[in-house]
Structure 1
Amino acid sequence: MVRGCPGGGWCARFAETHRSGLNFALLVVCYILYLIVGAGVFSATELPYEQELREELKEARQDFLTESPCVSDARLEELLARALEASNYGVSVLGNDTGRNWDFVSSLFFTSTVLTTTGYGHTVPLSDGGKAFCIFYTLFGIPVTLFFLSAVVQRLMVLVSRRPVSYFHRRWAVDRSKLAVIHATCLAILLTLLFFIVPACIFVTLESDWNFLESLYFCFISLTTIGLGDYVPGETHSKEANPHPQLYRLAITAYLLLGLVCVLVVMETCCELPQVRRFRQRFYQEKVRELDSETTNIIDRDHLSDQLSDPADDVMNHLPTIPSVSEQAASLRQNNTSAPYTPASGSAVNGKLR
């Protein structure tokens, strides 16, 4: 029989031995519950709007057929299917002469969204050659983009996060962990203002059909690389509302790339917080964590010895060699046996002092 848990028995020992495994299992359960809660909220919120939209479309279709008796239901169905298929490829039946989806600037916007895995889906390759090239282009382009972003983020981390924290830690003598939390909070607030709030206000003025919530929604969906594609700037069909579509699309491309880099810098800064590191270690395997710490200590000692060995070797090469005690004693014995003893001028002769 298995004894109970009272008194720090078998259950306590099992929980202590398998702490990281139990924490990981709890993490998996919480994540599944989070998915279920999110699905329930979205279903309860969006399903009524979907049903309402379906009813509106049915009524609009029936009204059109009633007012246009010369149009059959089959012909209207064919037209709508063709229009929806073209819309899935980024071609709308509304105002096709106002813009192009595959000029150079639009193609640059497309490559930036594809390589950063944002992928709005509003513009997709039409030809078989374009689809084949997209496969090979992204097959090499996405790893290169990830490498490029990681290199840029690591360099910015030194300038934006590590050096300021070290400087104020030495200047103010504040606890480093507390200072890192304050610094990460300030960066997050600055990021929210510069890349979410301010751009959302700008999009409200430039996009006539967007309100502030929709503009903020677009900024968040884009900079987090979710890219649902339901809101894409510059898709208006009026030349008066968007007199410079190419320049506008180029500015949005620059904003998305710069904003993505800044978001990654803030996320990396938060991940390097000591509190976050300790929290993450709760879900790691003990053996892996011990091995990583031992390997880290070995690498640190080797790196430290490499740093200290070079200047020490340079100094030792210019210093004279000091013999050991045994070598000095052997040298004295050899000198005593080879050379006769000569008394000093002040020494005794025949037992008398001169």
Structure 2
Amino acid sequence: MDDDLKNTQGSLTLAEAEIFDDSLLAKNSERSNKTIGLIKVKARKACKETSLFLLSNIGSISMVVCYSIMGGFLFQAIERPYEIRTRTFVSDIRKGYIQRLWRANMDYNIFHRENWTNEADAILRTFQTEIFAVVRDKGWDGIDESAMEKEKWSFTGSLLFSVSIITTIGYGYITPKTDEGRVVTMLYAVIGIPLMLLCVTNIGSILATCVRALYGRTLCISCRQNVVLFFKRKFGHTNESINRMELIAKYNRNEVVTNAHSVSTRTECAAVMHELNTTEHHHRTEEVRVPIVVSLILMIWYVIFGAIMFSIWEKDWDMLIGAYFCFTTLSTIGFGDFVPGHQNEDWNDHAKQVSCALYVLLGMSLVAMCFELIQNECRMFAKRLGQFVGLIKPISPK
């Protein structure tokens, strides 16, 4: 009986242990499932926040800047070794032909002009043919290997090349010579061009909004006339209206003193300004129309600014060439006949190439802004023309 009792107690203990283990495993499994669920929720939230940031204005600008810098390092790593090998190859060719000329001097009597001239002419013709083949096939730029500070594929040169790709300018004076570089260029453009268009569109919209707000509060004649009409209608042609307008001007300049009397004046001014801003005669920012002339003046000013800057940097450029380069660049024509630092061999300041890249990026945004303002004016003109000829029915005021 005692043995049976002990066996029964032992079997019960094992069963309880198995039940405890199963409950512990269930708890652990439930806890791990909760942990995995929390991780999924946090990952989903992080992906959503990251996507919203990348699609925002700051995010798109940051992506374009990082993408351009990445392209600078990438193209430098691919094309720079090939450029160095090409320069070394040309240097070896030149040294070999120097030795051939020296042997010709040793083999022929230099006083026998005809024989020496024929041999030297044959050597130089062969040298000319080989150099032409190197320039045609390998893209040699005529710079010796000793001038490594004038590399085309330095980081700043590669950065300018990457910017010319994503902005679709494509100067053409520097192009990839390796198969890897050409494949990377195509892939880089497929991703970079839409990214650049998104960034330029966002920045152009922001700048257009700022210009509308600035123009509406400073230069818009209709807004200024509506303000005057508001005060005439509100206060009439009395000294009181003049005093109130002067007080409001002081209120805007924060010149009202803080005493008991001016507190009520400040409150009154604030109330009048609030009523003025909410009156039907005051335009909202999105309703302000900027004339096409203003947009053209902004573009012309930016081209003139770039022309002055590049004509100072480049010794061989005048204002006309600088303006020509800026216009062909900002319009994405990009002939490549004039490129900063390409004609001038003394330009070793890499900061100027970076400044050129920034000028292009900002200029593309400015052009997008001006195109948006001009497009808005053209849309309004087409709408008025359609109403005039009867194609569009005018909206009657409520």
The correspondence of residues 283-322 of structure 1 with structure 2, limited to 5 A, is: none
What is the CA-CA distance between 1:276 and the residue it aligns to? Answer: 6.5
Q: Which residue number corresponds to residue 293 of structure 2?
A: 185
Q: Which residue number corresponds to residue 132 of structure 2?
A: 80
Pick the aligned partner of 2:212 from 153, 156, 161.
161
What is the CA-CA distance between 1:134 and the residue it aligns to? Answer: 1.7
Q: Which residue number corresponds to residue 118 of structure 1?
A: 169
Q: Which residue number corresponds to residue 187 of structure 2?
A: 136
Cα distance, 1:83–1:274 mapped onto 2, change above 3 Å: closer
Cα distance, 1:243–1:132 mapped onto 2, change above 3 Å: closer
Q: Which residue number corresponds to residue 47 of structure 1?
A: none
Q: Following the alignment from structure 2 to structure 1, what is the Cα–Cα distance between the partners of residues 370 and 214? A: 15
Q: Following the alignment from structure 1 to structure 2, what is the Cα–Cα distance between the partners of residues 66 and 192? A: 59
Q: Is 1:172–2:225 an aligned residue pair? A: yes
Q: Is 1:263–2:263 an aligned residue pair? A: no
**Structure with greater proportional helix content:** 2
Pick the aligned partner of 2:331 from 210, 224, 241.
224
Paired amino acid for 2:141: S
Cα distance, 1:230–1:173 mapped onto 2, change above 3 Å: same
Cα distance, 1:69–1:154 mapped onto 2, change above 3 Å: same
Cα distance, 1:279–1:125 mapped onto 2, change above 3 Å: farther
What is the CA-CA distance between 1:281 and the residue it aligns to? Answer: 8.5
Q: Which runs of structure 1 show a deviation greater than 4 angstroms over 4 or more consecutive aligned residues?
A: 65-68, 71-75, 274-277, 279-282
The correspondence of residues 1-354 of structure 1 with structure 2, limited to 5 A, is: 69-71=121-123, 76-87=128-139, 91-95=140-144, 97=147, 98-161=149-212, 164-165=215-216, 168=220, 169-173=222-226, 180=289, 183-193=291-301, 195-236=302-343, 238=345, 241-244=346-349, 246-274=350-378, 277-278=381-382
What is the CA-CA distance between 1:150 and the residue it aligns to? Answer: 0.9
Do the aligned partners of 1:94 and 1:237 also contact (CA within 8 Å) in 2? no
Cα distance, 1:230–1:95 mapped onto 2, change above 3 Å: farther
Per-residue CA shift, 1:231-251, capped at 9, x if unaligned?
11012463xx3242x111011
State the number of aligned residues.
214
Do the aligned partners of 2:201 and 2:365 also contact (CA within 8 Å) in 1? no
The SS at the match of 1:225 is coil
Identity in percent: 26
Pick which of 100-109 and 255-264 moved more. Answer: 100-109
Per-residue CA shift, 1:128-161, capped at 9, x if unaligned?
2222222222112111111111111112211113
Gap regions ≥5 residues in structure 2: 1-116, 228-280
Q: Following the alignment from structure 1 to structure 2, what is the Cα–Cα distance between the partners of residues 190 and 71? A: 59
Q: Which residue number corresponds to residue 56 of structure 1?
A: none
TM-score by length of 1: 0.52
Do the aligned partners of 2:315 and 2:344 also contact (CA within 8 Å) in 1? no
Q: Following the alignment from structure 2 to structure 1, what is the Cα–Cα distance between the partners of residues 380 and 166? A: 29
Q: Following the alignment from structure 2 to structure 1, what is the Cα–Cα distance between the partners of residues 127 and 384? A: 60
Q: Following the alignment from structure 1 to structure 2, what is the Cα–Cα distance between the partners of residues 139 and 103? A: 23
Gap regions ≥5 residues in structure 1: 1-64, 283-288, 298-354
Cα distance, 1:149–1:231 mapped onto 2, change above 3 Å: same
Q: Following the alignment from structure 1 to structure 2, what is the Cα–Cα distance between the partners of residues 95 and 216? A: 32
Q: Following the alignment from structure 2 to structure 1, what is the Cα–Cα distance between the partners of residues 384 and 174? A: 39
Paired amino acid for 1:257: L
Per-residue CA shift, 1:237-274, capped at 9, x if unaligned?
63xx3242x11101111111111111121122111105
Q: Following the alignment from structure 1 to structure 2, what is the Cα–Cα distance between the partners of residues 155 and 255? A: 18
What is the CA-CA distance between 1:229 and the residue it aligns to? Answer: 0.8
Cα distance, 1:160–1:94 mapped onto 2, change above 3 Å: same
What is the CA-CA distance between 1:191 and the residue it aligns to? Answer: 2.7
Q: Following the alignment from structure 2 to structure 1, what is the Cα–Cα distance between the partners of residues 157 and 202? A: 27
Q: Following the alignment from structure 1 to structure 2, what is the Cα–Cα distance between the partners of residues 95 and 277? A: 59
Do the aligned partners of 1:270 and 1:276 also contact (CA within 8 Å) in 2? no
